[in-house]
Chain A
Amino acid sequence: MKIMVDRTKCDGNGVCMGIAPEVFDVDDELYLHVADPIPDDPELRARVRQAVTSCPILALKPVEK
């Protein structure tokens, strides 16, 4: 599983970071860093999927590898 970020949309609001901080990290320039690959842990992946659907500007897209 990999997360694609639409950089034209992502504004660093940090919603994803609040849900899965192990994977999403917004720096102080508001740039979102995403862990790659995403650790193979079912609980964490559920939260990552929740973070994807919770993005208020729909900037995240999961890609199953």
Chain B
Amino acid sequence: MIDLHSSRIIVAGGSLSGQSAVTELIDRGFAGEIVWITGEAGGVYSKPALSKEFMQGRVSLESILLPAIDPCGANLKIIDGSRGLSLDAQARHLQLDDGRYFDFDGLLICTGASARMPDFALNIDNVLPLRTLEHALAIQQAVRTKPRVLILGGGLIGCEMAASLRGLDLDVTVVEMQSSLLERPFGGAFGDYFEQLQRRNGVTVLTGQSLARLQTANGKVTGAELADSRLLPADLVLVGAGSIPETAWLAGSGLALENGVVCDDTLCSSVPGIFAAGDVASWLNPLYGVRMRVEHWTNASAQGRAAATNLLAALCGDAPGIKSFGDIPYFWSDQFGLKIQMVGWHPGHDRVVVDQPEGAPGPVITYFRGDRLVAAAGVNASRAVMTFRRQIEAEARRTVLEPADA
């Protein structure tokens, strides 16, 4: 048991999970010092909006900024724009990249993930990823000249960007290595649906194609050559190649790292008193019995709060107060005015049921593992999807699945 008045908790990471963690510490009346290291300067913003409303030009920058935290009398020190440089987990010592360092009693790691940029895409003008506000602003700047756009990767970011930029009347081509679009988030069960949706709206879709090289002139991209030697001219190339959890600064810290910070079902890392939340956390989800790392909005918010609550319980020596964190993942995608929603965790499913409701713009698909419903997705079908969510959760709380390879 330690005296919480004289204790210090560091929250590393200034996106949604970090903000949620700080808010929870304040709401629970934590009496010690909170040091919030934001990493990215300038406040918290809505990441889902970057490829959706913001890219479509429907909302302003101001309207996607989250309100600043009200400290309500808490001892909150915000270090804006600095990042963790290194950590000694056993000594409870964190070094910042601005030269400062802090000892701590508790640490919440909420450093998120960054865009994966393949080597071939580095240091070429007009070749950009989309992950941060800075990226989004750079893309908005680049599209003013009405470039021909080539999108590498037909995942969530790639397909949303294609839809949003097509809405600005740009010429857009998507190249995807897999045989169908959005295979990872939706498991391929939507088959040709997404491809037809993109095509119908004027996007050129090339699936099952890989890139041989980018072509440049004077350091600027001019196009791409595919593995089958086809040439695609382009003035702007957007890379949607997934993300990498931000754990480089934790190398040598003593924390177990593997596809993120390895956490148990309470979001505690391999070292007591250090918890993780959001895109950086690889945790054992008790509702599925598998380890997962979820990169979606609602998970970041809920995990930030849960990790903060559990850390406080740990610092108080309140073992029963440290609760398992179970979550039914949820995300949505906006494409061409349609809302595509997914609840649950489909990796490891062995059966799908495809339903085509009359008058609906797309299918409603349910994913099963054995007899158990594990995920559901639909197009403009919020009520159906949310009803399935309750069923998924009820079944999950009844039976624990055997671990499966995701």
Q: Report which A residues bind B (CB closer than 8 A).
A: 9, 11-15, 17-19, 21, 25-30, 53-54, 56-58
A17 touches B382 (CB 8 A): yes
Q: A17-B386, A28-B360, A28-B380 are in contact. Are A11 and B53 (CB under 8 A)?
A: yes
B59 touches A9 (CB 8 A): yes
A58 touches B301 (CB 8 A): no
A11 touches B334 (CB 8 A): yes
- Return the contact of B330 from the options A12, A18, A26, A28 (Cβ within 8 A): A18
A28 to B334 CA separation, bound complex (whole angstroms): 14
B339 touches A13 (CB 8 A): yes
Q: A9-B63, A14-B332, A56-B297 are in contact. Are A28 and B382 (CB under 8 A)?
A: yes
Provide 5 A-B residue pairs closer than 8 Å at the C-beta atoms, listed in order of the A residue. Answer: A13-B334, A14-B330, A18-B389, A19-B298, A57-B53
B382 touches A30 (CB 8 A): yes
B63 touches A56 (CB 8 A): no
B residues in contact with A57, CB < 8 Å: 46, 49, 53, 59, 63-64
A58 to B67 CA separation, bound complex (whole angstroms): 9
B46 touches A28 (CB 8 A): no
B199 interfacial contact with A, CB 8 Å: no
**Cβ of B320 to closest chain A Cβ, rounded Å:** 20
Nearest 9 Cβ contacts at the A-B interface:
A26-B382, A56-B46, A14-B382, A56-B48, A13-B332, A54-B301, A56-B297, A18-B330, A17-B386
Closest chain B residue to A30, Cβ basis: B339
**Cβ of B396 to closest chain A Cβ, rounded Å:** 15
B385 interfacial contact with A, CB 8 Å: yes
A57 to B46 CA separation, bound complex (whole angstroms): 7
Task: Name the interface residues of B248-304: CB closer than 8 Å to any CB of A.
Answer: 297-298, 301
Closest chain A residue to B65, Cβ basis: A58
A14 touches B301 (CB 8 A): no
B residues in contact with A25, CB < 8 Å: 383
